[in-house]
Each structure stands twice: as C-alpha cells, then as structure tokens.
Chains A and B, each alone.
Chain A
Amino acid sequence: MKKSFIFGVLALTLGAAILLSFTQGRYPLHLVDLWHYLQHVLFHSPMADELANRIGVLLCDIRLPRILAAVVVGAALSVSGVTFQAMFVNPLVSPGILGVLAGASFGAALGMLLSTEWAVVQVSAFSFGMIAVGLALLLSHFYKGDRLLLLILSGVISGSLFTAMLSIIKYLADPYDQLPAIVYWLMGGFSMISLDTISTLAPGILIGILIIVAFANNLNLLTMGEEEARSLGIRVRTMRLMFIVVATLISSLTVAIGGIIGWVGLVIPHMSRMIIGPDNRVLLPFSALMGALFLLVVDNVSRQVFTVEIPLGILTSLLGIPAFAGVLRVARKGWG
C-alpha cells in the first residue's frame, strides 16, 4: 500500500475519532446535536438558550480540553519514544530512559506537598523533569567510553535518585490528604484538565514535535552510529543534545498535563514502525497521529466504560501490555 494512503486513512480516522469523542460521555449528546449547536454558534440558527448554554459548557469546558489533552499528550509521548529509540538504536527505550518521568513525578509530588496551587504542581513537574535529564547529561560527561551507553546508565542513576526522593515525599506527605492526591496523580489522567492548562501547554508540545519532525533526517543519520553520522557531515553532539532537550521538554510537558501515562511511548513507536517502516521522516509524523488516536480512544474508554473513572495511566498499561505482547512476534519488523 502507498504510504500516503495509509497516512490519509490514519488522519481521517483520527479526525472522525475526535468528532465522535465530543459525543461520548455521561451526558448523552448526538452528532445531530453537535450539528445544531454548530449552526447555532456560526449562523445563529434558533436554539433554546438554556440548551445551547448547557451544550456549550459541556463541549468547550469539559470535552474539548480532554480531547485536546489526549491528542497532544499521545502525540508527544510517541514522538519522544520514536526519537529516543532511534537515537539509542534500541527497541527497549521509552521516553523515560533518561529519567524525565521520575524527575517530573518527584517535581509534581513536591509541588503538592508545598502548595495547593495547581500551577505550582505543573511548573514543578515540568522543571524537575528537565532537571533530571540535565543531571543525567552532566553525569555522563564525567566518564569516558561509549557515549550512548553512558547516557543510558546516567539516566538510570538520575531516574533512581528521583524515584528515591519521591518515596521520601510520599513518606512525609499528609496521609489523609496529600498522599492520596500524589498517588492518584501518578496514575495519570486528564480528569483535572482545564481549557486554560491545555491552551498554555499544548503550543509548547506542538512546537517541540514540529522541531523534531523537521530534523527527522538527522535522526536517520544518527541511527547509523556516531562515527558514520559524523563522516556524513552531521554535528553529532549538537544534534543529539538538541533531540534530547526537545524530546525531554515535550515529555515533561505531558507530565504537567496528565501525570505519568505509561506504555504509549514504547508501544506506539513499535506499532507505527511496523506499519510504515523505520524512516523517521515518515515515522515521526505517523507515530504522532497513532499516539494521538490511541490515547484519545483509551481516554474515552476510561471515562465511560466503568461507573468510576479509571486513571488513564492504568488503562494505557492494561491495554498497552497485551498489545505489545501480541505484536512482539512481528515487532522485529522495521528493526534489522
């Protein structure tokens, strides 16, 4: 099949999923209602004020932010996963490899301990995600040897450090109030999302994704190994640092938006590579759409299937793990 055709199908599916997601939820709403409301807003066609208000609040304040969050976070996690897998030429790598998720978790917990302000939590999560990766980068420079291997080891060290510090925070937190909030938040999800949050943080993510996609061919060259990439005219250190910083930035932002949402950044890159091949120029945008679609669907499931909303992070794991196990048989496709 032509790649552009597969691309088109995926983009259309995502568009349809977004549209349908507006109709999904506790309050029943049909596509027809959506259509009437749209006509009312755009062309002032008649509609009961009270009904219009209710639908307006429902769509713009409740469902739109969630849909945007799922789409943007899903895309960011898979793009960051593809980037790290390509850079380390390793199928086991996920966005958390350099400690960003551990750092952001610690940051968020610290924020919750020190403040009740949601913005503080988000800024703290984002900052400590970046700090953790910064620490890993710094550590890796103290040793000599295979740079990529050292980076991974430094990431493990940095991640473990922040996980340990997260435990300290949990231990110190008020067990009736703060601890449950921290634990719940670490499970990941968009139930706290607001239009404000998403419109502040989404542009950063989108710009990050665009930067990575724009440099996709450099990522291809980096997969050939440090020496070959240099002999092909790439400034390897600069490029690598750029990819790490941008991929870390967008993963940190996802944590600020929706906590820790596991498995998307590992499973979706593999699935995408199986479908469209390993060329990052195509794979990166494709996996962004795949990730967006996956997380949107799972989020719809999480808020409806059960009477109590299930944290998204739990569902992505529950769905991601069997999916991964299932595709493992053919997962070597795209890898030589």
Chain B
Amino acid sequence: MEKVQAQNVCFGYNGSRVLHEVSLTVETGCILSLLGPNGSGKTTLLKVLLGLYPPDSGQILLEGDPVSELTPRQLARKIAYVPQTHKMSFAYSVFDVVLMGRAPYTSIFSRYSKEDYDIAMETMDRLSITKLKDRIYTEVSGGERQLALIGRALAQGADTLVMDEPLTGLDYGNQIRLLECIKGLSCEGYTFIETTHFPDHALWISNRAVLMRQGRIVADGATQSVINEQAISDLYEKDIAILDVGNGVRTCMPRSLLDKQASACHSFDFQEAGDVSHSCFS
C-alpha cells in the first residue's frame, strides 16, 4: 500500500528553489534511505513530506489523502518526526518526552488521560528504555535520547517515522543498536523514511534507496541496485569502491584511502581537502 506520496513537488525558501519536481512513492513497511551531499535538499524533502512546509507546487498524499487537507492533529497520528538528537533547553524527564507523543489525542486543554500514561509506559517497555523513565532527557546519552524520540513517535500512534540523520552523533555501538531497532520495527509494519550520510547504513538496513542531488532525485529503487560504485562515486564526487564481503553483503570504501600508495601523506591534496584540514585545526 502507498503510505506517502510526493507528486511533482517543487519547494523553495525565499525564492531560491530547493526541490525541483520531486516525485516519490513510499510503500508500507519500507525502510527508505535518502542519500545525497550536503545541501542536496534531503532534510527539506523530509519536512515537506511531514507537511511542515506546504509545497509551492505539486502535492503530498498521505495514505491517499492530500496532506494539506489534514489537520495537524490528524497528521500527527499518521506520520511522526524524529529530529536529529537535539539539545533541549528544559530538563524534562525521558518519560515526559515520550508522553508528549500523546498530545494529538488529548483534549483542547491537553490533559493526558490514564490511557495516555499507560501507552507511554508500554512504549518505553517495548523499546527497553523503562529504566530511563525518571532520568533527565538532557542528561542521558545521545543513543538513549534518540530512543526516547522514537518512543515519542510510537506513542503518537503514527506508523510512518521520518528521521533526519538519526545516527549523527551516536557512538558505533549505539548506531548499530538504533539500526537494529529500526529494522525490528519495520518488521512489525512501520515505515521509515530517513536521511543518512553513510551508504553503508542504507546497505545494512534499507530496502529502498533514493539519491538526491541539487534538489532532484537522481536515482530511486532497491538499495542493492541503486547503491553501486558509479552512482555513489558520482553523488559524492569521490572514487568509491563497493566491495563484496561474501554472501552478497556489500560495503563501501573510498579508493583513495584503500590504496596504500595514494593514501601516503605526500600525495595528499591539501588544496582539495582545504575545508577539511581547516576544520581540523580550528
């Protein structure tokens, strides 16, 4: 079934166009990875899909209904936003953050019912974060915060989760834990649309990959076919090798770092890596 559909969506901020004629159909249960260089419009596309920004032309359909005709509350019950781990300024408890997911079900004065509390507790159980219940959200680890935000999304009752670089800032173990969690939830029927900077993550968990460049979708299809040497090398303007590590499992490696000769320091092109080396020292 079609969960989310973008039809010829164009969008821009202050007159400069960010998305050009983007069309995309996301099926139920799919894990879609959105890849592309910085500034390619990934995050903007996510926000347009969420109905946060109305497109300049074209439309977004959610389970067949135009998003523009749904109220924010109706929308919130169907599609949830899991932002990049952010630093909230107020020290809410992890439970309070999860409970906020029940907001679209509360009355106008937003009193949570007993049922809302129960659902928030169940959700925490499901993600095995019950022990974090009374911890302060800003004081738990990045991985735990990300789980709390997923908990909030699940408490919303939404079955489509839109995640903006969910792995950014997490250590290796937490990245893997989060990917396992996403994969597990997808088996239960949840749909994921996420942006990522690592083609490997897409290869590990997603069954659909979309490549974006300068506000246009340049490739869209099954992850295994979309993520190939040619496409990834073109997308990031770097020579990337995709190695088969057995059983059809593949992984990306940058050729310049693989090749012992080329990775020797004397051949390192500082000119090209100018902004990188700059950021190392500043």
Contact = CB atoms under 8 A, between A and B. Distances in A.
Interface stretch (A116-124, A167-175, A212-220): A212-220
A231 B50 contact: yes
A228 interface: yes
Contacts of B52: 227, 230-231
Nearest to A88: B89
B101 interface: yes
Contact of A144 (B14, B72, B87, B156): B14
Contacts of A90: 89
A234 interface: yes
Interface residues of A, number: 30
B96 interface: yes
Nearest to B89: A89
B90 A223 contact: yes
Contacts of A224: 88, 100
B240 interface: no
B106 A279 contact: no
Interface in B62-101: 71-73, 75-77, 79-81, 83, 86-92, 96, 100-101
A30 to B, nearest CB: 44
Interface string A180-223: 00000000000000000000000000000000001111101101
Interface string A272-306: 00000111000000000000000000000000000
A25 interface: no
B72 A336 contact: no
A232 B47 contact: no
A333 interface: yes
A233 B102 CA distance: 10
A56 interface: no
A233 B76 contact: yes
Interface in A232-254: 232-235
B18 interface: no
Contacts of A223: 88-90
Interface residues of B, number: 37
B91 A228 contact: no
B137 interface: yes
Contacts of A333: 91
A194 B76 CA distance: 50
Specify which of B79, B86, B103 lies most central, judged by the most chain A CB atoms within 10 Å of its CB: B103
A233 to B, nearest CB: 3
Nearest to B102: A232
Contacts of B73: 233
A86 interface: yes
A46 interface: no
Contact of B92 (A91, A216, A227, A279): A279
A57 to B, nearest CB: 42
A278 B104 contact: no
Given A232-B101, A232-B103, A233-B76, A336 B90 contact: yes
A217 B71 CA distance: 19
Interface string A297-336: 0000000000000000000000000000000000001111
Given A223-B88, A335-B90, A336-B87, A231 B111 contact: no
Nearest to B110: A217
A225 interface: yes
* 3 interchain residue pairs of minimum CB distance: A336-B138, A233-B76, A233-B104
Given A220-B96, A230-B72, A233-B73, 7 more contacts: A218-B110, A221-B103, A227-B83, A232-B104, A233-B77, A334-B91, A335-B91
Interface of B: 14, 47, 50, 52, 71-73, 75-77, 79-81, 83, 86-92, 96, 100-101, 103-104, 106, 109-112, 136-139, 152, 156
8 contacts: A217-B106, A221-B100, A227-B47, A231-B75, A231-B79, A232-B100, A232-B104, A234-B103
